Structure 1
């Protein structure tokens, strides 16, 4: 097969042939990788005739679609639609009818030949013409429907979704006016408290919000709190969820649910064996997900029996509210609940159950008839899992309201994972959208010299477009709920994603492009609807074009101190960071401050076999040593630490003075937002996650070293909070 034929299809499907790597050097995607990526997208590439036929089919499908499935238009843009017709129809008269989501209608008569001709093609000996139709109306923001009628007909010949969007994302007034805020980031499952059941919960979150706000914090940043796997609780990565639209019900504070005090529930809770297991779940240093899930599900099941008999079997306000929640959740909520019940059922039978790929064939897809029969047979248990989502949403909203009541500038900020895991309910419910023969990852970069494979099947950009972007709309909307900001993990995914063909090495992948301007428009619309500031995690291999687009769209950049280095190795002053950014010292994928300074991450990486050669490890040690000296130079140069902190890295360990000095140094910077890890407040040494590991290290389990009730009683931490607040006030422009 000629490369030219393959390249035609590669270009049509947005697969990149060349890119600039993380070190600024040109890189090329191998032809074999391009072919495998096309295979993952559903194309046959074994012979030239097959490729040519698929190119032809895609071309025919385009020209025989009178209107596009969807169009995203910014308020500053003129409204124009593309219309494609066989030449014999271009002189006919048509009626365009646009119905806004509020029900208001705009109509316009159009004869295509009287408008602007923009393209022509011949398909099966028939000439097709494409016209640009101007629609001179002022439309409100929102999701509208455009229909095309032949004059006199009642049924439309074509229909498309029209998404009208603001030009940029929402920015809170106090942030826009120059206020500089700080807040704490926390992995919610890590939180210890005297009352939780071995995992941080939404009540802990409410308390953290109130206590942090009292010290001057303006937000609390969370890990992704997406739905995981009730029947497979050890699949606990928040970045490999089952559904990104719904919540992890393990964060429920069971004791706050109505019905918890019922004697039947209390009999379970107060049993000696239960109390012993509960104490064990609280005391261990790493979250025991299996035990937590067992304890909570056992009590929640009994509690739901009480709630159902009390409220859901008769006409009550509670039943009406629950039914409304289920109705609004629609197919997505039903799909997740059915999936959870099915996985639970198969596990109880001792059958393979880790995800839909190992389900019996009759259950491998949500829309199969046997799945509907299963759901009907297990209606009460499906309702139970819907109930848990309802209660989780209410407790999350209570935490959000606590932030509002405390006067926080941002309040809660949530984190949207880049994808779902292979065995997820989200893929089970929308197989057409996902390419399961590929996985999302990253090419070799500073954080991952060998490249990364995250095990998350990507969305097919073409299918996403054909589904009128509804899956993305749902993701943005649901993850902005009960929050003042949304952090988008790996925000470059809006432009392109590194796809790794199944069973290939991460370095042998390639970039596939997405309709970035459309996705940014939807993001801006949902941002305004939800009054949510947007932060884009733009680390790794970041093309310049995306940075500019993010800034223009009002999205805040994500700046990590340790990556903000000049060519000579010195660290940029935080006062030089973009105002439109959130700055931080470390992230969940990095060592803590103590871990970084004492090279504990390098020691751990060596013991886990993460470094292919001793030479690579030695280079990392040498680089770390130089970086630490440059950090000391910068801190002393900016008078951010006293002489209590040494100037020579050979004699200066990580102390509280250096730790707090680094945090205060960041607070003097120009970034509008400063996020600090609660682990660094507590001077912890162990990381929560080590990228590139699976079973080698207990990722996503390590708890905080102190109970939540004790943290804000610590005079040293209250003093640190005051210093941060004062530094942020001094850096603000609205003093």
Structure 2
């Protein structure tokens, strides 16, 4: 009986027991994994009676809710609401009052028994009926509140989200324009002025320089808030909050108040000057050093700014207060978290994240946290100030792109989750399953599977919260940009959950309400005029690809993964138009690194390959792939005859490097993204997946300043060729 009951619960909670793996073979999750996944979702699976009771409770909770928490409909659809009522009420008049986002109120009076009945149930010996009520009016795009009443008694509330059919695409791209841009990890940027890490002023300069040579966008790594008190937790894909920004990207010298004598005293000290010089000179970002000097300078600037503007009735104070009010609980949560973590660290306490905070501080909603916030209001205000300044500087950079006439401007990157010790989880534990982590099942690149250490959202809790957390995520990450790349876009359909302590291969897929989430994505995309790119690599069912395409989400095509069964590489002219193509990504070697097998050499040195046999197989595959690439490039006339045809005698050089990039530019993808590292012919990767401290991930800087980079003739010639190739592709 237990397995049958477990299976019923598994189906109710959207746990997928069978899937097709990366090799195209059917796979099944273990029986033990089903029970473990249900456990992390909050269920007790110890015996039949308890399981049956929980199934009954789940069913009962639905029937005792007259309205669903939220309903997403597309603009062309009629709005049909499910209404559940006990039988004694079904002959009474009921009113559905819809308050539109604009404030307009619409009402519909109905008698349940006159509507279409879909099903019925008995709960505690009371008979309940479910009816479908069709609203006799259309609603505009947006978020609308619904209240169900009878005899002026409120019976239930709901939310209707009306979404467009598909995500936004800028008119020039819709008309066939093909564009190119540069992808960059913002922290990697070097400039004559920055403090050892790329900042928003560098970004504005890069936009200006790139636009002048034909680029239509700059793609960024996730710029989410990390941990001011723990700067070495520097992975942009393991943030503290995905709604807010990494303060390290603030250009301190551009903040009003920097020229004050009190600030000059801080930044003019010998210790500060020496640390700044070190931070600028080192090959890898020294996050400890950068955080040390930026926090010191920003605190000094804040004191000046606060005294001058934020304690008085000034326009600056009004703008600051409006920002804080709009940020709501989410912003307050982050500022309090950052202040608290800093406070605990100063006391010498373990403070990497809320799981190790003292008991009274383990939850944002605890009384002790409110007491701490009140006692440390100035410190909390400082962290609110940092977010305000960061948002303003990002917007300034984005405006540069608009002024320069870029078709897209900035495109931002939304990470798949937040790390376990994050502020986002600290403030909404009910939403997250902290005993599990997001990852990936075994595939070609990761035969043991992957565990990313990011606790997943519970899809049912997300639904009960009216999808507000996901709405906020999409909206905040589309701000000050023209496009959003969603890392692991499969998360909208399903996520591979790994229970804490288990191997990644022993996980299972949990389904999410993909159609609802895509509707919200489309709505926010139009509101923010943001094109959406979905990173659809890895184990991806074909049906989700077509669903994403139908919803206007652009696919993500990586040259090295676009291979036919015979080993040849597909021509970029065969890529979908509705896609962004690229040669490499932040998780892959640079072009030189790939061609000279430096990634395999590095992997061997740090122990990534268990046996010499595996390594030799990888070398052999690489050799074959490189020959196939040469054949493709010569076959399409993308490189001249002076570049060799035989891989045994052809190393990576500037002509081959540029030839590969121009080859991609002639393709059919609407968007082409290229890495600055390949423009600079760099050989070291920015990240090696599957490593922790074996390699300095997320730290390696570019080898040249922005200012000098665009003075190089070879770079300007490459940019000109890319622009021409894109024009030719647009006209073909």
Alpha-carbon shift at residue 613 of structure 1 (Å): 2.2
Structure 1 counterpart of 2:21: 21
2:470 and 2:500 map into 1 onto residues whose CA distance is: 24
2:17 and 2:145 map into 1 onto residues whose CA distance is: 37
> What is the aligned length?
732
2:404 and 2:583 map into 1 onto residues whose CA distance is: 26
Alpha-carbon shift at residue 622 of structure 1 (Å): 1.2
Matched, 1:39 2:39: yes
Alpha-carbon shift at residue 495 of structure 1 (Å): 0.1
> Which of 704, 707, 722 in structure 2 is aligned with 1:706?
704
How far does the alpha carbon of each residue in 1:153-208 deviate from its partner, in whole angstroms, 9 at most, with x for none?
Answer: 1x421010110000100100001000000000000000011100000000000000
Alignment of 1:469-484 (within 5 A): 469-484=467-482
What SS is found at the alignment partner of 2:154? coil
> Which of 512, 520, 523 in structure 2 is aligned with 1:522?
520
Alignment of 1:600-639 (within 5 A): 600-639=598-637
Alignment of 1:497-536 (within 5 A): 497-536=495-534
Q: Answer whether contact 1:644 1:657 (CA < 8 A) is retained.
A: no
> Which of 662, 665, 681 in structure 2 is aligned with 1:664?
662
> Which of 559, 572, 595 in structure 2 is aligned with 1:561?
559
**Range moving further from structure 2, 645-654 or 667-676:** 645-654
> Which of 288, 291, 307 in structure 1 is aligned with 2:305?
307
Alignment of 1:243-254 (within 5 A): 243-254=241-252
Alpha-carbon shift at residue 64 of structure 1 (Å): 0.8
1:390 and 1:475 map into 2 onto residues whose CA distance is: 17
Structure 1 counterpart of 2:78: 78
Q: Answer whether contact 1:84 1:130 (CA < 8 A) is retained.
A: yes
Structure 2 counterpart of 1:464: 462
> Which of 230, 237, 260 in structure 2 is aligned with 1:262?
260
Alignment of 1:516-595 (within 5 A): 516-595=514-593
Alpha-carbon shift at residue 658 of structure 1 (Å): 0.6
1:656 and 1:79 map into 2 onto residues whose CA distance is: 59
What SS is found at the alignment partner of 1:235? coil
2:136 and 2:552 map into 1 onto residues whose CA distance is: 27
Q: Answer whether contact 2:78 2:138 (CA < 8 A) is retained.
A: no
2:695 and 2:49 map into 1 onto residues whose CA distance is: 49
Structure 2 counterpart of 1:676: 674
Q: Answer whether contact 2:143 2:161 (CA < 8 A) is retained.
A: yes
1:554 and 1:16 map into 2 onto residues whose CA distance is: 26
Structure 2 counterpart of 1:137: 137
> Which of 647, 650, 657 in structure 2 is aligned with 1:649?
647
How far does the alpha carbon of each residue in 1:447-467 deviate from its partner, in whole angstroms, 9 at most, with x for none?
Answer: 222211100000000000000
Alignment of 1:266-345 (within 5 A): 266-345=264-343
Q: Answer whether contact 2:217 2:408 (CA < 8 A) is retained.
A: yes
- Normalising by structure 1, what TM-score? 0.99
Structure 2 counterpart of 1:126: 126
Q: Answer whether contact 2:583 2:661 (CA < 8 A) is retained.
A: yes
Alpha-carbon shift at residue 2 of structure 1 (Å): 2.7
Q: Answer whether contact 1:191 1:200 (CA < 8 A) is retained.
A: yes
Alignment of 1:161-180 (within 5 A): 161-180=159-178
What SS is found at the alignment partner of 2:430? helix
What SS is found at the alignment partner of 1:436? coil
2:501 and 2:495 map into 1 onto residues whose CA distance is: 18
Q: Answer whether contact 1:239 1:420 (CA < 8 A) is retained.
A: yes
Matched, 1:64 2:64: yes
* RMSD value, Cα: 0.8
Q: Answer whether contact 1:444 1:507 (CA < 8 A) is retained.
A: yes
Matched, 1:99 2:134: no
2:386 and 2:160 map into 1 onto residues whose CA distance is: 35
2:10 and 2:614 map into 1 onto residues whose CA distance is: 36
Alpha-carbon shift at residue 295 of structure 1 (Å): 0.2
Alignment of 1:346-361 (within 5 A): 346-361=344-359
Alpha-carbon shift at residue 11 of structure 1 (Å): 0.5
Alpha-carbon shift at residue 377 of structure 1 (Å): 0.3
What SS is found at the alignment partner of 1:44? coil
1:477 and 1:465 map into 2 onto residues whose CA distance is: 18
**Range moving further from structure 2, 45-54 or 509-518:** 45-54
Q: Answer whether contact 2:440 2:496 (CA < 8 A) is retained.
A: yes
2:642 and 2:332 map into 1 onto residues whose CA distance is: 60
Q: Answer whether contact 1:438 1:500 (CA < 8 A) is retained.
A: yes
What SS is found at the alignment partner of 1:67? coil
> Which of 389, 392, 397 in structure 1 is aligned with 2:390?
392
> Which of 398, 416, 419 in structure 2 is aligned with 1:421?
419
1:644 and 1:161 map into 2 onto residues whose CA distance is: 65
- Normalising by structure 2, what TM-score? 0.99
Structure 2 counterpart of 1:3: 3
Alpha-carbon shift at residue 612 of structure 1 (Å): 2.2
What SS is found at the alignment partner of 2:15? coil
Q: Answer whether contact 1:231 1:347 (CA < 8 A) is retained.
A: yes
Structure 2 counterpart of 1:405: 403
The runs of 5 or more residues in structure 2 that have no matched partner are none
What SS is found at the alignment partner of 1:433? coil
Q: Answer whether contact 1:74 1:165 (CA < 8 A) is retained.
A: yes
The runs of 5 or more residues in structure 1 that have no matched partner are none
**Range moving further from structure 2, 530-539 or 108-117:** 108-117
2:469 and 2:429 map into 1 onto residues whose CA distance is: 12
What SS is found at the alignment partner of 1:268? helix
What SS is found at the alignment partner of 2:651? coil
Alpha-carbon shift at residue 211 of structure 1 (Å): 0.2
Structure 1 counterpart of 2:185: 187
Alpha-carbon shift at residue 38 of structure 1 (Å): 0.7
1:92 and 1:611 map into 2 onto residues whose CA distance is: 71
What SS is found at the alignment partner of 1:645? coil
1:414 and 1:559 map into 2 onto residues whose CA distance is: 17
1:625 and 1:87 map into 2 onto residues whose CA distance is: 73
Q: Answer whether contact 1:490 1:538 (CA < 8 A) is retained.
A: yes
1:15 and 1:618 map into 2 onto residues whose CA distance is: 39
2:8 and 2:619 map into 1 onto residues whose CA distance is: 46
How far does the alpha carbon of each residue in 1:383-442 deviate from its partner, in whole angstroms, 9 at most, with x for none?
Answer: 000000000000000000000000000000000000000000000000000000000001
How far does the alpha carbon of each residue in 1:295-347 deviate from its partner, in whole angstroms, 9 at most, with x for none?
Answer: 00001011111111111111111111111111111111110000000000000
**Range moving further from structure 2, 306-315 or 210-219:** 306-315
Q: Answer whether contact 1:166 1:521 (CA < 8 A) is retained.
A: yes
Q: Answer whether contact 2:190 2:705 (CA < 8 A) is retained.
A: yes
**Range moving further from structure 2, 130-139 or 569-578:** 130-139
1:37 and 1:202 map into 2 onto residues whose CA distance is: 42
Alpha-carbon shift at residue 89 of structure 1 (Å): 1.4
Runs of 4+ with deviation above 3 angstroms: none
1:664 and 1:447 map into 2 onto residues whose CA distance is: 27
What SS is found at the alignment partner of 2:279? helix
What SS is found at the alignment partner of 1:421? coil
**Range moving further from structure 2, 310-319 or 336-345:** 310-319
> Which of 233, 236, 239 in structure 1 is aligned with 2:234?
236
Q: Answer whether contact 1:438 1:499 (CA < 8 A) is retained.
A: yes
Matched, 1:370 2:382: no
